Amino acid sequence: MKMILRWFPYGDDSVTLSQIRQIPGVTGVAACLPKIPVGETWPVEELRALTQTVRRAGLEMEVIESVNIHEDIKKGLPTRDRYIQNYIDTLGNLHAVGVKCLCYNFMPVMDWARSDLAAPLPDGSAAMSYRHEVVEQMHPESIGRAMAGKARGYSLPGWEPERLSAMAEDISFYQNFTQEQYWANMKYFLDAVIPAAEKADVRMAIHPDDPPWPLFGLPKVITDAERIRTFLRLNDSPYNGLTFCTGSLGARRDNDLPAMIREFAGRGRIHFAHLRNIRFSGERDFDECAHPSACGNLDMYEIIRALQASEFDGYIRPDHGRMIWGEIARPGYGLYDRALGATYLLGLWEAVEKTVSRG
């Protein structure tokens, strides 16, 4: 297992690589090239420069998050083949710079949604929160604008301004789309890309839908164990795997996270884990909270135990954190709370490991 942190290059992050290097036990970052338009090939020269920057700071860059999927691929348009070829070329370039794992998602139109990016918590910190009725009553474009307004000047991955204008049109496109059509388009993508991922030795790790329930009548993909089974069956290669995000899947109370980990990591299909906790405040309402089990509704001890019982050997990151101690950062991606999260998770990992090995 390797503990990493997400990091955004080109000054689009308040957190520096040297700060990340000083978090005990964190050995690398999940990085990205945010300025490449979705659908285009990630140039190897830029990837090389980025890798060098990360390595010079004493860190590894074995994980990329995310190479986004062009909407034409999800829609199954004739133009998809060109974008799929670009994706395959990108995989080759990722291999050339030593990347081992690629986190991506296949959610239509929007990658994730929250009703508030800086909701006050009782302890005086702020965190991202989700209130289903609030989100459903908002127009997606206005959600995008409201979120951008609270992003402290940092880009919000998945909510890039150029995406907002097409959102209404894209949402109406999917209203007459069946779930079967969506799976078929996904299979078309996987069957083309997974052989290239095998050749490049880059494990594909799809991120669950966030939140894991229907929004604006859009098709859903990775929301529960049954849909994950369907997804994994679309292409049986071990390179067709998951990013197991506990905060996303855990928002559905009927998802038994430790059981899901034992099933999917046990079959070698979890390559990356996003570990964070959430606190429920209604059936479809939750706040992101600090990582320890006592702070939320997820049992992080059982989650770590399930990962180890499945001999999970991938990457873990503490995913989002709260804004604490007056920090100003991209929502979810400050330094302090994620560093606390990484330390807590590493402590749990060590405790479970030693308990098991000493019987």
What residues line the site for Mn ion (CB under 5 A)? Answer: 245, 274, 319
Q: Which run of H or of E encompasses 271? A: strand 270-274
Rounded distance, CA 257 to CA 274, Å?
Answer: 12
In whole angstroms, the minimum distance from the beta carbon of 134 to Mn ion comes to: 21
In whole angstroms, the minimum distance from the beta carbon of 113 to Mn ion comes to: 13
- Respond yes or no: is residue 271 known to be catalytic: no
Q: Which of 13, 111, 285, 319 is catalytic?
A: 319
Task: Find the angle CA(247)-CA(87)-CA(3) to the nearest 5 degrees.
Answer: 35
- Our CB check for Mn ion shows the closer of 80 and 291 to be 291
Q: Which of 83, 245, 337, 344 is catalytic?
A: 245
In whole angstroms, the minimum distance from the beta carbon of 339 to Mn ion comes to: 17
Rounded distance, CA 277 to CA 318, Å?
Answer: 9
How far is the CA of 228 from the CAs of 196, 212, 253, 271, in angstroms? Answer: 22, 12, 16, 14
Residue type at position 301: Y
Q: Which of 104, 239, 333, 344 is catalytic?
A: 333
- Our CB check for Mn ion shows the closer of 196 and 339 to be 339
Q: Which of 70, 132, 291, 320 is catalytic?
A: 320
- Our CB check for Mn ion shows the closer of 6 and 70 to be 6
Q: Which of 13, 32, 83, 207 is catalytic?
A: 207
Q: Which run of H or of E encompasses 72? A: helix 71-75
- Our CB check for Mn ion shows the closer of 72 and 111 to be 111
Strand pairing class (270-274; 315-317): parallel
- Our CB check for Mn ion shows the closer of 208 and 219 to be 208
In whole angstroms, the minimum distance from the beta carbon of 234 to Mn ion comes to: 21
Cα 93 to chain centroid distance, Å, stands at 21
In whole angstroms, the minimum distance from the beta carbon of 288 to Mn ion comes to: 10
- Our CB check for Mn ion shows the closer of 97 and 147 to be 147
- Respond yes or no: is residue 207 known to be catalytic: yes
In whole angstroms, the minimum distance from the beta carbon of 248 to Mn ion comes to: 5
3-state helix, strand, coil in the chain (%, to 5): 40, 20, 40
- Respond yes or no: is residue 245 known to be catalytic: yes
Residue type at position 333: Y
Edge-to-edge strands, sheet with 285-289? 116-120, 126-131, 285-289, 277-282
- Our CB check for Mn ion shows the closer of 319 and 337 to be 319
Q: Would you call 172 helix, strand, or coil by DSSP?
A: helix
Q: At how many degrees (to 10) do helices 300-309 and 257-266 cross?
A: 20
User: First and final CA of the chain: distance in angstroms?
Assistant: 21
- Respond yes or no: is residue 256 known to be catalytic: no
342 and 300 Cβ atoms separated by less than 8 Å: no
How far is the CA of 244 from the CAs of 20, 57, 100, 115, 192, in angstroms? Answer: 22, 28, 16, 23, 23
236 and 208 Cβ atoms separated by less than 8 Å: no
234 and 240 Cβ atoms separated by less than 8 Å: yes
In whole angstroms, the minimum distance from the beta carbon of 284 to Mn ion comes to: 18
- Respond yes or no: is residue 72 known to be catalytic: no
Q: Which residues are catalytic?
A: 207, 245, 274, 319-320, 333
